[in-house]
Structure 1
Amino acid sequence: MSNWKNVNNWHWVSKNCLNWAQKYFDAQLVGLQAERDGNKVAITKVNECVGDVDLSQRKGKLITIYGVELKLTWEGTTANGTQATGKIHVPEVAHDTEADEYVFDVSVDNDSQEKQVLRDVVKKQLAPLMIDKFEKLATAMIKENSSDVYIEQKDKAGSGAPTVGVTKERTGVTHINKTTSNVTSTTSTEKSGSKVNTTTLQETIEFQTSAHELFETLLDPQRASVWTRGPAQVSKQVGSKFQFFNGNVSGEILEVEPDKKIVQSWRLASWPAGHYSTVTMTFNQGNDNVELTVKQTGVPIGEEELTQRNWAGYYWRAIKQSFGFGAVF
């Protein structure tokens, strides 16, 4: 990968590390063994490793984003000499999976009561060893692939090793960092057969980046999973649905002009059922920054402060902190 033009590691650079991850799991999992009371099991093959594994860098910060499904084969011998084989299915190994959240579906070929003890050893003794390997994936990925996305700045004072992004999931939307916005006159709209009194919010936010980078950050699912700190469902396709923060924020993409405008329906889960506002984001490219003007119509009366806080804390502050797009106050 050529990154010689990425001066000071400013731009977003990403490497697909799926092939590397497949080799990592082969090396770390095949041959892994566990035993209990003379009952022994071991992984013999990684049959399938599919999904997305990416290492990204932005302004000197390395970020691991991954989500893969694993299918493996195991074999074992009971204390009395009965042999067995079977399969292990791990639906998801992801950057935001906690150690106690992994799921292991274990099957036994030609199952019998006598072989069940081996299945139990796989789930209770072998699975924790597998989790340990899963938890070390991000560190190993950075160690072995960072040179492809990060340029060492050895000749510059004050430069050092890149920082590492943390991408653990947020469990909800909390109210933080109140922002200043313009609130216009209230209106009323009809939703799901009931009248909802609404108002309009508008604000302009400055980011130290280009309109293109900010546009991609808002609509690219991999980038969005970084600043939302969790799974992000979003795309640039008009008519597609989006969902952030475990469904606390959701809507639909209504209009897209690359690097210029995004129009979307948008709602908080706490709003009246079926009610959506309309958010128009306009990008104004400056010499060394971009101003984003956000106009939101149809915000329910009484929800203004909550809505402003969530934009400020969970969109603008999070984006600036994650990608270095400007000062955070």
Structure 2
Amino acid sequence: MAKWGEGDPRWIVEERADATNVNNWHWTERDATGWSSDKLKSLLLGLRLENDEGSCEITEVSKVEGEASINNRKGKLIFFYEWNLKASWTGTSKSGIKYRGSVEIPNLSDENDMEDLDISISLNKDEPETSLVQLMKSKGADKIREVLGSYVGLLRSEFTQGMILPTANGMLQLQSSSQSKAKTDKTRISSSSRTAAPPVNPGVKIPTCKFSLTETFITSPEDLYRVFVNQEMTQAFTHAPATVDGEKGGRFQLLGGNVLGEFTELVQNEKLVMKWRYNNWPCEHYATVTLSFADRRNETELRMDCRGVPNDDEERTRDGWRRFYFEAIKQTFGFGARLF
């Protein structure tokens, strides 16, 4: 049998720093079906877009059929997901006329790229023709692909924790694959899996950008400030469990762990500065978010300055702050006002 120190991953006794066998070295499977169903609904529901003709929004996700799992075989992660989705959308013209339609996505799976995804968008029967259908078929389809791509990224990041345990060298090489279950039995150990991967350098530089948003809320700076630092109020507008430690150096985690960070500066009722990130960003990379609260008599003007966002995630971050922070806060606490 293998001797201690040989570190040959072909043997059952895999070398670890604590001199025990790697628990997940052979075959383990983690079911992600329930989590995926909830995540797909939350990502699609409320998706909104508009143009000069009016606006469209996904108002119901009526069918989420399928399954998802992650398998670990000898240090190799294999992701499997297959979904059939159906949703309803509502369009509102500039004149106030409402239209209703449906969205069908029959082939969201690990075997298809996002650009190959079939997205069928149509008007309901007996609905009059409207140009808003084209808005849904163009920009709407692009937005749907974007949020479904976010689901895949979150599946790969949230459910891999604990499935690969460290070796004596500090890290076992992590590999991932989009193969289906039918292909997993054919998986073979490549020669590269016999050596430990070098630690990832968390200081690696990536292209980033900055942007600003301004929003007006019908409330006082005191009340609005409290929404961001009070755990119960944060859970109310995110409609999900959250942890919030509203003091300097205090950490927060929102939206099922999809958003996390730390407060770095607090000036009560005037300014909040935080380190902020999506959990699928590169390891230890944070954006810096500054919230400035300005008293406008019966209203509060909130300016959000964000820098350090990965270039390819700017649109998702902008949209996320508008939808999951600003619009959600207004709807939950009745702070609604015009959008800038």
TM-score, normalisation: structure 2 = 0.46
Tell me: higher relative CO, structure 1 or 2? Use CA pairs within 8 A at least 6 residues apart: 1
Which is greater in Rg?
Answer: 1
